[in-house]
Amino acid sequence: MIRTGIQSYAYFRLDDYEVGMRKMKAHGYDCIDYQELMYADSPLFRLSDEAFEAYLTKVGACAQENGLQIWQLHAIWPTVDDTTDEGRKATIGYYKKDILGAKYLGCQRVVLHPCLPKGWGGDATEEEFFDANVAMLTALLPAAKEAGVTLCLENMPFKKGRAFSNIESLKAVIQAVNDECVKACLDTGHLYVMGDDIREAIVLLGNDLGALHVHDDLARQDRHLIPFQGAIDWNGFIDGLKTIRFTGCISLETVVAERMPEELKESFQLALSSVAKWLAKQVEN
């Protein structure tokens, strides 16, 4: 069975995860994309080692109690500063903490953002991108193996430096590292922003596809819309996953707008869950 999930921020933050998880389960989800370790200023990074472990272990246990699986963890974004050795070391430090957090949560996948050797708007060459990301993943492999975690490198929507964005570049990095602990996270919206064919990208990744960020986009802007509210080819998405015999999680990276009136919000949340279930069913058929 194909699972369905959604980002944790759609239902809870640090202090209300128990209520949020119960609601997620009631709305029909199987999995969570955990986001509380996504920002470097998260209070969790300031906890002692003991408190960090205790809190995340409790969160993981709550997910299990509610019949949910923390399927993937969203690592920090933005990275510290990929243009300097010091900045790259700092980012790797945060990533190692993310990996440890995933272990305590009982989560087996950590979504990483590519190292950007010339920065956000830089024009790094394919070789520079390749070398920087192979080095980053290689440095993280021992921690990932110890934690039993798969590192999933995400495609990003950068207009400059095509190497930051195309699936061929990500695939080359993954193949060079050549370890079962390293795969790709395919972000559907990011792919559309770059004008790439979603079915071709999925088929190219094949067994190297380890996680998904599922959302829609429009007019080449990264808007994180609900599927079918933008222009992504969802038939191609479904066919691509069927072609590679995908058995993972349709994990949504979108939310019902916070400005939605409370009396309407739950009906929209239920509809969003139905979209995820519908996509999963099409892949299974």
Q: What is the DSSP letter of 155?
A: P
Pairing of strands 209-213, 182-187: parallel
First to last CA, the chain: 10
Contact criterion met (CB below 8 Å) for 133 and 141: no
- Tell me the CATH number at 162: 3.20.20.150
Assess whether pLDDT exceeds 80 at residue 220. no
pTM listed for this prediction? 0.96
Supply the pLDDT for residue 166: 84
Contact criterion met (CB below 8 Å) for 279 and 241: no
What is the helix (H) or strand (E) element at residue 71, kind and residue range? strand 69-74
Q: Write out pLDDT tens, residues 7-24.
A: 999 999 999 999 999 999
Tell me the pLDDT band of 219, cut-offs 50, 70 and 90. Answer: confident
Assess whether pLDDT exceeds 70 at residue 160. no
279: helix, strand or coil: helix
Supply the pLDDT for residue 1: 87
Contact criterion met (CB below 8 Å) for 117 and 128: yes
Supply the pLDDT for residue 163: 65
Helix ranges (DSSP H) in the chain: 17-26, 49-65, 85-105, 126-147, 167-177, 188-193, 198-205, 234-243, 262-284
Q: Quote the domain boundaries for residue 227.
A: 3-284
Assess whether pLDDT exceeds 90 at residue 253. yes
Average pLDDT, the chain: 95
- Structure-token match 């599927």, residue found: 227
Supply the pLDDT for residue 133: 96
Domain count, the chain: 1
Task: Tell which residue, 164, 154, 149, has the closest CA to residue 109.
Answer: 149
How many C-alpha atoms does 188 have within 13 Å on its Cβ side? 30
For the beta carbon of residue 262, count every other beta carbon within 10 angstroms: 6
Supply the pLDDT for residue 52: 98
Helices (H) and strands (E) in the chain, counts: 9, 10
Distance CA 100, CA 56 (A): 10
